[in-house]
Structure 1
């Protein structure tokens, strides 16, 4: 386990931070508006350039598609902050901006955030897995499963399935349907999102042509979806992660030991909306994304948490099962 992280948690200076974190969680309207301006306007601008690039050269189209996907990831982070009520002081503003950016990301606002709140309330709890997280079996559960279920789990956890097929399934298919557990408000939001998406597709088809829009949008949502799922995977599936049973579960402890600090280069940190500071986000989800680097810089206790580097993130791809005896994630080859 991450000894620096464990020792910091045991000496427990975190409660002091939590009590004094109110100054960080106050939204700054100017920063919020500026983040919308420097993300949404470039996203629209890149779409315009993409259409013109098709008549110029694919060598110009490809990098523009990558930039558009990166900007869509950043728009999704704003959508994510709005759902936590952390982006604006006004909850109406959070909802309207969140719903708009959710539509651009093919994600219904109420449905997604309902699942995400459950994820925050149960992160790292082995007895409450399954809502808003990556399906993770324990070693004992896997060994006790049928051959059919083992095969299904292996396919689910394979990188090609999870990030390749999974990104399309989640954003294009799963997000289009309601569930029995959803409230009527959440179901209505799914219907509204789908209706607006149809209208958007019709409008864009008239503006630039149906197949042109379809191809560009498909590639952008596919790349953004893969990047987004990879980010979410890294946040709770890494070498030093902690999972416990309900009797040993503690919100602060698991926010730190069950959520990663992914150290990105500055450019990727910008496109990912500072979501790499995920351990801080789980300590206090009301802190806007633009304040997370400030929290990290001004509070040395967070620097005791070992960062997950790019190389370490690649190693996490082989981790598939939680071994309760060893208290760590292991690969299939270790069974």
Structure 2
């Protein structure tokens, strides 16, 4: 249970961690981007030795690409560098590598932070989550679409390719010119880099290396985003009852990973702290957790327990729990019994 006094003073508690360090940020660029490029080249070199070696190196490169995405993510929040322009430049460059347009993603993700766990303001930058009543009110085709969307094979198999290769290539409705131009610049950068590499090493070699790097990093990225809010004990409330602190500390997971995985994922497992204050750079999230009991009181999920999240498909407002599709039959039976 979260201490009420600490909950009320959360701004004071978190303020000490919200100042980016240029030194630490530059070092993170060095220990992330350089290993990524070296691993990518090593994976290409290994094609002449063994493709199993290539796949091993591609897995490590994918891990570094996830870490690059976290830097991109911090730039979108303006928390990686103290300077706004520096965040935009690095965010755009890292967005090209991760196939994410900086301004577009910054907008949708800021909406996600403002509405996470709010049943009345869902739909932008989040996982499509319906309540039982909403699901039952849908026509058959939309129910089927929702079931397919929530199927792990679709969400983690086809989902990453659709999101990163197709969805992010188009501007959202109502986007301003600066955002549109940034999307065009990102698309041009992706095509230019891919085209240049295909010209230098050949399209087959490019796909044999970049294919697994993209697929593995995309799967990891979608899984992390999914498990950060779709877990046992998560938080959803109607707008009039929704609370920012509860949405952060109860509706965002503390994903307790081995230290090496925390490093590769840029400490995003401390997601409860990140949602409380997205101004905290990724390299301070673990310090904030270790130095404050308020954050340690949040129940963690582990690699093993997080697999249960695959069974959660729909929100029951009565139980205030995520349930599987099998629960719908029980719900209908109870509804039928109550009307008899």
The answer on 1:140 being equivalent to 2:133 is: yes
Between the aligned partners of 2:109 and 2:2, the Cα distance in structure 1 is 27
Distance 1:281 1:206 in 2: 41
1:279 and 2:269 correspond: no
CA deviations 1:79-134 (Å, max 9, x no partner) are 00011111111111111111111100011000011000000000100011110000
RMSD: 1.0
Q: Post-superposition shift, 1:21?
A: 2.4
Deviating above 3 A after TM superposition, structure 1's stretches of 4 or more consecutive aligned residues are none
Q: Quick one: distance in 2 between partners of 1:160 and 1:150?
A: 17
> What does residue 8 of structure 1 align with?
2
Unpaired segments ≥5 residues, structure 1 = 1-6
* Distance in 2, Cα, partners of 1:61 & 1:212: 11
Q: Is residue 202 of structure 2 the alignment partner of residue 209 of structure 1?
A: yes
Q: Where does residue 3 of structure 1 map in the other structure?
A: none
Using CA pairs below 8 Å that are at least 6 residues apart, which structure has the higher relative contact order?
1
SS in 2 for 1:322: strand
1:182-203 Cα deviation digits (max 9, x unpaired): 1111111111111111111121
CA contact (8 A) 2:59 2:212 kept: no
Q: Tell me the distance in 1 between the aligned counterparts of 2:237 and 2:90.
A: 36
Give, in angstroms, the shift of residue 215 of structure 1. 3.1
CA distance in structure 1 between the aligned counterparts of 2:233 and 2:167, rounded to whole angstroms: 31
Which ranges of structure 2 fall in alignment gaps of 5 or more residues? 329-340
- Equivalents in 2 of 1:179, 1:232: separation in Å? 20
1:110 paired with 2:103, answer yes
Q: Does 1:294 align with 2:292?
A: no
- CA separation in 1, counterparts of 2:204 and 2:233? 45
Shift of 1:30: 1.1
TM-score, with structure 2 as normaliser: 0.94
The residue that corresponds to 1:182 in the other structure is 175
1:153 to 146, 157, 173: 146
TM-score normalised by the chain length of structure 1: 0.96
Partner of 1:52: 45
Aligned to 1:237: 230
Deviations 1:33-70 (A, max 9, x none): 11110110000001110111000112211110100111
What count of residue pairs does the alignment treat as equivalent?
Answer: 328
